[in-house]
Amino acid sequence: MTDIKAMSAISKTIIKMTALAAVCGLLLSTTYVISHGQIKANQQAFEIRQLQAVVGDASITLQPAGEHYRLLKNGSVYGELRAVTTPDGYNGDIRFWLATNMQREILGVRVIKHQETPGLGDKLDLAISPWVLDFNGASLTNHRWDVTKYSGDFDQFSGATITPRAVVLAIAEQLAEPALSSALDPEPKPVDGSQQ
């Protein structure tokens, strides 16, 4: 007798919770379906805005080319935005964006992912230190590509040489390479931040 009673209480609980979960799930999935398109557009616009800040020129539009971007100005190829990863940091990979024009001069550098020591190596981050802005306008010919300790032109951070040196050398290596072939054959249809 009590068994039946307990069983019915359990099944009642199960039914109630399932019903409630179904209603909540329905509400959420409806909202998701309605808002998904706009959220996706917001996200793309946000990412493009972030990358636009690396290039530092609002008149340049970005066009995806694999994991890199082609930079277009007035419809013609202006340069490239390259995703670079270097394993030579103090702790793990350092990932950054490198924007260059066709003369292989730097338009901007932004470190997007690193695990360097907080307080020492994290000056890579523009939110913490303006160090990455030193690269603006630099090219292989107008700078010596190392940190000052190794008689280069770029500052190391006090207490941390490995981290900035990894970035400086990785950039020099990229500049020595030719422009991405994908940047040279533009297709029409530029992507810009004004699509929402």
Partner 1 sequence: MTPAEITRDGLWDNNPALVQLLGLCPLLAVSNTLINGFVLGSLTLFVLIFANGTISLLQRWLDDTTRLPAQILIIATFVTLADLLLQFVSFELHQRIGLFVALIVTNCVILGRAEAFARKNHFGYALLDGLTMGSGFLLVIVLLSGIREALGHGTLFAQADLIFGETAVNWVIQLPNEGLLLAVLPPGAFLLFGLLIALKNWIDQKIEQRQALRNSSTAAN
| Span near partner 1 by CB under 8 A; candidates 25-33, 100-108, 136-144, 173-181 | 25-33
Q: Which of residues 46-105 bind partner 1 (CB under 8 A)?
A: 46, 49
- Can you tell me which residue has the tokens 């409806």? 30
Q: Provide CB contacts within 8 A for 38, sequence distance 6+.
A: 196
Check residue 21 for interaction with partner 1 (CB under 8 A): yes
The nearest distance, CB 163 to partner 1, in angstroms, is 23
Query: Using CB under 8 A, which of 6, 20, 128, 184 touches partner 1?
Result: 20
Check residue 43 for interaction with partner 1 (CB under 8 A): yes
Measured between alpha carbons, how far is 124 from 95 in angstroms, rounded to an integer?
11
Q: Report how far apart the first and last C-alpha atoms of the chain are (Å, whole number).
A: 64
Q: In the structure encoding, which two tokens stand for residue 51, read together?
A: 């990358």
Measured between alpha carbons, how far is 148 from 187 in angstroms, rounded to an integer?
42
Q: In the structure encoding, which two tokens stand for residue 3, read together?
A: 């068994």
The nearest distance, CB 67 to partner 1, in angstroms, is 21
Contact set with partner 1 (CB under 8 A): 9, 13, 16-17, 20-21, 24, 27-28, 31-32, 35, 38-39, 42-43, 45-46, 49
